[in-house]
Amino acid sequence: MNREQIVSFVISGLLFGAGLAGFVLDQPFILTLAAKAAIFAIAGVGLNLALGYGGLVSFGHAAFFGIGGYAAGILAWHTRNFEPLATWPIEISGTTSMPVIWLVAVFAAMFFALPMGALSLRTGGVYFIMITLAFAQMLYYFALTWPAYGGEDGLSFYLRNDFPGLTASDPWTFFLLCLAMLIGVMALCALLVRSRFGLALEMARQNPQRLASSGIRPFTVRLAAFIVSAMITALAGALYADLNRFVSPSMLSWSMSGEIMVFVILGGVARLAGPVAGACLFILLEEVLGGRFEFWQVLLGVVLILVVLFARGGLMGLAAGRRSAHG
Amino acid sequence: MSATLFFEQVLNGLQFGMTLFLISAGLTLIFGVMGLINLAHGSLFMAGAFACAAVAKATGSFFAGLAASIAAAAVAGALVERLVIRRLYDRDHLDQVIATFALILIFSEGTRWLFGSFPLYLDVPPVLSGSVPLPGGITYPLYRLAIIGVGLAVAAGLFLLVNRTRLGMRIRAGETDREMIAALGVDIGKLYTIVFALGAGLAGLAGAMIGPIQSVQVGMGEPVLILAFVVIVIGGIGSIGGALAAALLVGLTDTLGRVMLPQAFATFMEPSAANAVGSSIASMLIYILMALVLVVKPTGLFGAKA
Amino acid sequence: MKHMKTSFAVAALAAILGAGAASAEPVKIGMITTLSGGGAGLGTDVRDGFMLAIEQSGKTDIAVVVADDQQKPDIAVQEADKMVQSEKVDILTGIIFSNIAMAVVPAALQQGKFYLSPNAGPSQLAGKGCDKNYFNVAWQNDNLHEAAGAYANSAGYKKTYILAPNYPAGKDALNGFKRFFKGEVAGEVYTKLGQTDYAAEIAQIKASGADSMFFFLPGGMGIAFTKQYAQAGAEIPLIGPGFSFSQDILGAVGDAALGVRNTAQWSPDLDNEANKAFVESFKAKYGRVPSLYASQGFDTANLILSALAKSGVSDQDAFRAALVAAEFKSTRGDFKFGPNHHPIQDIYVREVVKDGDVITNKIIGVALEDHADAYAAECKM
């Protein structure tokens, strides 16, 4: 195992350890934080696929985070209120089963990511950043002003959804569930990156003309990466909705997009466990600094700047050295 | 809607556009010339407004506050450039995004630390307050006309600076080929500090001009930031004329959209639904506009070909 | 996530016995409020008012844990979880904004905690979602708007133009106004949340032929609107709920707000003992005139203290009964709850005036007397 893999395992292990500590010490709040870290890490892994490996700097991933969240929220809300989603042409009722909700979230994200990606990928560089932001903002204002699902008030569904065979409302179980999904998503990402698709994506980032000349259109590869990345982030959104038992348009805001980017970049772009490291560090800083000092965000800003200036390649870069070349 | 009212709304749209241009002018310079994504632009805007409010309160003169705001923002900009930004020119956009995002946090909470949580008082100076009659029978606030005037002056000034002065020549050269101009003996470090400070000073000017008719409070810079980026991207990065055109376009679209969409929907929907749908779409309108522009012209209206 | 522990000498419990209070058991109160960002002024006021009352009581066995929700519902939910699970608070309070309240309060109530709202009064919690452990010490959201509608009638306005931002509280505001206003609505406009330039709306208002204008624009939006309205030379009189003209905002708006009539359940010049003492002590301690948010925080704390004087929190039924009885000296004079635990109170009309150097509100009349809220009938407690 090379150094990067060891560090990745260690970081995931630390996250597990944090949750374990919460369980053993009977401090459910620590489990909530650890689950939050795992969920943000999943969102980061999704973004990392597009941003890190693909070089597509999307400032609109909050759109998918929110789509996943609202999918979970809307389905759960309809069930808890005993109202069907639609009565024509067939009656569709809500559900509180997590696997079903995740499938819906992921497919909803795919449904939006296809046109959004197809249109955005016509641009490049900073324009790409801005057009992805534009789409996310449209969705944000839509959610804000559409009265059916609470608008700015958001949607509360009080009880966590169910996972067959487990009591998901128990903090320890839910944390393990989130961690399992994180590991699953990381495995998926690792497979993708090592596959032909991953190589093509990397090439599309480094030298698109070369890729085109070998018969693969960069556009198709990037679009596929964008869509998969959106689906992963939507999964994170659905889990986040379940963590808080609440969804609101703030999940779609541009500052949420910015935060997800911060996790990815802090941890190390295009590193498998980068988002995990970044999310854990950010949440740790928020918690530790937040308790001590009323204007803690000033300190957070300073720490972020120091990391950016002096830790090239983010935390993973510090811990595991430069990115290992593909075999 | 009567013709007079329509004309007034068009004027409002243009005025809002000028406000947007004033806000984005500084960012166009920094972004266009230096290729730097400066998320802290909104914070410099806020710093200018706060400086103006503080100095205006202390001295009783708005114009003293105005001068102070430009100076304070420029100094803050120069400091930030030397301490942080300077090390990021070689790095990719992502690092710039994080570093300037971190600056937003520092500026926002730092301002709250210094000035407290409550909004500050900043009013229009007496010499510029009140309304004036305009042809067509409308009375228009004098201060808004002043904003239009300042916006036009800034546009003209920037254009002259970039195209007719030596500094401007160096800036344009640096934008095209940094190493070459350094090799030709120009102190590129000092040049960039000056440009950044200039951009920051313009942001501060915008803050001071707009503060009197808005709320001077922590967080006032964030909505401004997004709007500024939208304007610059629609106009095309690096083009001052493009930014002006885009600002006017966005201002008109937003204003007329807000006013006319609910009425348009009311022709075939009942009033409260028309209101809801109309306002909803009106709030998304500038983003729809940006997406449309970028789909048709991927580098903005006047941007360089990719 | 921020939280600052402000523990009042729990360690000194051994040395100092409670001042003959019926309950000597330590009480933990969790306050989640907005202390950063644009809405920080309101949270700061509520917290300051609340802590002033706690301090004045001299009781040492009350611990107040304060956390900042950063005006984000997800952060608020997590802080609430922390308070309930880790800090094991008995009573929760503090939330300013209705959307955050809807995220936090139902879950907290489900876990059997008491929640006393010093500000947010969403209609869901006044009507169908009411709960025996939920008490609102301020008002139900629509109240101040309803009073404005009533005032518009008594002031003889026949054609009012109404405006609010396009979000649930804004819609509630205009509905509340229309519920009581008997004249004609000259125009009804929903602006974008966070909008700062109102030139277009003001032009519409001037052209509409209205004889009055009612608006609800909280925070920075209201400041921007009021300043722009004054600059535009629009002669049409303005009315609004007290939120748009509270003390924290008046300082920023300045002369542009003079003469505006606004409705609120409290005013700094309200003439009763408790209020005079409150305003004096608040000014002495914090160096500024209190806003209505501060008075609400102060009243919430005093309500809790009055209930604690009769029963500890652990005897939930007795404590609840003590809360319902509400035997405390409110800054509003007499205080009583309706059947859905929302206040039944007078709503005053205030005018913005200049008192020496300070711009503040003075009561000029009563808009609604002993006013309950419109949702009480839906509450099946």
* pLDDT reported for residue A323: 66
Query: What DSSP string runs through B128-169?
Result: G-SEEEETTTEEEEHHHHHHHHHHHHHHHHHHHHHHHSHHHH
**Which range has the worst mean pLDDT, A95-109, B85-99, C218-232, C262-276?**
B85-99
- Is any Cβ of chain B less than 8 angstroms from the Cβ of A228? no
d(CA C90, CA A87): 44
Residue of C nearest to B278 (CA): C190
Cα angle A228, A185, A137; round to 5: 45
> How does pLDDT run across C225-274, given as a tens digit for each residue?
999 998 888 889 999 999 889 888 888 888 889 999 999 999 999 999 99
d(CA B92, CA B70): 29
Name the pairing type of β-strands B131-134 and B138-141: antiparallel
Please, what's the b/e burial string for B192-202 (b: 16 or more CB within 10 A of its CB; e: otherwise)? bbbbbbbbbbb
Residues 6+ positions from A228 with CB-CB distance below 8 Å: A46, A49, A192
Closest CA to C141 of C88, C101, C181: C101
Distances (CA, A) of C54 to B157, C141, C276, C302: 59, 26, 17, 8
Average pLDDT of span B245-272: 88
> How does pLDDT run across C158-205, given as a tens digit for each residue?
999 999 998 888 888 999 999 999 999 998 898 988 888 999 999 999
* pLDDT reported for residue B181: 78
Distances (CA, A) of C21 to C6, C25, C301, C312, C327: 22, 10, 16, 10, 15
Length, in residues, of chain B:
306
B270 compared with C286, residue with greater pLDDT: C286
Tokens of B126: 């007496």
Chains that touch A (3 or more CB pairs under 8 A): B, C
Share of chain C above pLDDT 90, in %: 61
Residues 6+ positions from C208 with CB-CB distance below 8 Å: C161, C186, C187
* pLDDT reported for residue C91: 95
Tokens of B81: 């450039």
B141 and C253 in contact by Cβ < 8 A? no
Given a cut of 60, whether residue A217 has pLDDT beyond it is yes
**Which range has the worst mean pLDDT, A146-160, A195-209, B95-109?**
A146-160
Query: What DSSP string runs through A254-299?
Result: HHHHHHHHHHHHHH-TT-TTHHHHHHHHHHHHHHHHHHH-TTHHHH
Average pLDDT of span C106-117: 91
Residue A163's SS3 state is strand
Suggest the residue from A246, A292, A294 to mutate for an interface test with chain C (most C CBs closer than 10 A).
A246
Per-residue confidence band for C24, with pLDDT thresholds at 50, 70 and 90:
low
Share of chain B above pLDDT 90, in %: 38
d(CA C48, CA C287): 12
Query: What DSSP string runs through B171-200?
Result: HHHHHH-HHHHHHTT--HHHHHHHHHHHHH
Provide the residue type at B213 as one letter: I
Residues 6+ positions from C276 with CB-CB distance below 8 Å: none
Helical residues (DSSP H) of A155-271, grouped into ranges: 171-194, 196-206, 208-213, 218-244, 254-267
C103 and A156 in contact by Cβ < 8 A? yes
B143 and C227 in contact by Cβ < 8 A? no
> How does pLDDT run across C266-316, given as a tens digit for each residue?
999 999 999 999 999 999 999 999 999 999 999 999 999 999 999 888 899
d(CA B152, CA B21): 9
Given a cut of 80, whether residue B175 has pLDDT beyond it is no
Suggest the residue from A244, A252, A299 to mutate for an interface test with chain C (most C CBs closer than 10 A).
A244
Tokens of C249: 């905002």
* pLDDT reported for residue C13: 38
Q: Tell whether pTM > 0.80.
A: yes
Name the pairing type of β-strands C91-93 and C114-117: parallel
Contacts 24+ apart (CB under 8 A), A282-286: A282/A40, A283/A33, A283/A36, A283/A37, A283/A40, A286/C1
Suggest the residue from B117, B209, B210, B216 to mutate for an interface test with chain C (most C CBs closer than 10 A).
B117
Distances (CA, A) of C78 to A265, A293, C103, C117: 25, 19, 10, 18
Average pLDDT value for chain B: 87
> How much is the CA Rg of chain B, to the nearest whole Å?
20
Q: Which residues of B touch A255 (CB under 8 A)?
A: 222
Tokens of B45: 């805007």
Q: Could you tell me which residues are beta bridge partners of residue C30?
A: C65, C92
d(CA A131, CA B286): 12
d(CA A119, CA A138): 14
C166 and A154 in contact by Cβ < 8 A? no
For chain C, what is the HEC assignment? CEEEEEECCHHHHHCCCCCCCCCCCCEEEEEEECCCCCCHHHHHHHHHHHHHHHHHHCCCCEEEEEEECCCCHHHHHHHHHHHHHCCCCCEEECCCCHHHHHHHHHHHHHCCCEEEECCCCCHHHHCCCCCCCEEECCCCCCHHHHHHHHHHHHCCCCEEEEEEECCHHHHHHHHHHHHHCCCEEEEEEEECCCCCCCHHHHHHHHHCCCCEEEECCCHHHHHHHHHHHHHCCCCCCEEEEHHHHCHHHHHHHHHHHCCCEEEECCCCCCCCHHHHHHHHHHHHHHCCCCCHHHHHHHHHHHHHHHHHCCCCCCCHHHHHHHHHHCCCCECCECCCECCCCCECEEEEEEEEEEECCEEEEEEEEEEEEEECCCCHHHCCC
Q: Is there a contact between A123 and A226 (Cβ–Cβ < 8 Å)?
A: no
Average pLDDT of span B100-128: 89
Q: Is there a contact between B62 and B146 (Cβ–Cβ < 8 Å)?
A: no
* pLDDT reported for residue C262: 94
**Which range has the worst mean pLDDT, A50-54, B288-292, C23-27, C176-180?**
C23-27
d(CA A252, CA A63): 5
Per-residue confidence band for C5, with pLDDT thresholds at 50, 70 and 90:
very low
Q: Which residues of B touch A266 (CB under 8 A)?
A: 98
* pLDDT reported for residue C321: 93
Of A141, A244, A291, the CB nearest to C2: A291
> How much is the CA Rg of chain A, to the nearest whole Å?
20
* pLDDT reported for residue A326: 45
Given a cut of 90, whether residue A216 has pLDDT beyond it is no
Average pLDDT value for chain C: 88
Cα angle C104, C106, C112; round to 5: 105
* pLDDT reported for residue C11: 34
* pLDDT reported for residue A88: 67
Average pLDDT of span A309-323: 79
C1 and A290 in contact by Cβ < 8 A? yes
Per-residue confidence band for B118, with pLDDT thresholds at 50, 70 and 90:
confident
* pLDDT reported for residue A189: 93
Closest CA to B66 of B132, B130, B140, B153: B153
Given a cut of 80, whether residue C81 has pLDDT beyond it is yes
Residue of C nearest to B3 (CA): C207
Q: Other C-beta atoms within 10 Å of B77: how many? A: 30
Q: Other C-beta atoms within 10 Å of B90: how many? A: 6
Average pLDDT of span C40-68: 93
* pLDDT reported for residue A85: 75
C103 and A29 in contact by Cβ < 8 A? no
Report which secondary-structure segment, H or E, holds B25: helix B3-27
Residue of C nearest to A292 (CA): C4
C203 and B12 in contact by Cβ < 8 A? yes
B109 and A131 in contact by Cβ < 8 A? no
Report which secondary-structure segment, H or E, holds A156: strand A155-156
Tokens of B71: 């100076």
**Which range has the worst mean pLDDT, A82-96, A132-146, B118-132, B155-169?**
A82-96
- Is any Cβ of chain C less than 8 angstroms from the Cβ of B267? no
The distance of B124 to chain C (nearest Cα, Å) reads 8
Tokens of B175: 């934008």
* pLDDT reported for residue C233: 83
Tokens of C125: 């919690």
Report which secondary-structure segment, H or E, holds A247: strand A246-247
Residue B281's SS3 state is helix
Given a cut of 50, whether residue C68 has pLDDT beyond it is yes
d(CA C371, CA C179): 13
Average pLDDT of span C107-130: 91
* pLDDT reported for residue B264: 87
Q: Which residues of B touch C219 (CB under 8 A)?
A: 119, 215, 217
A254 and B106 in contact by Cβ < 8 A? no
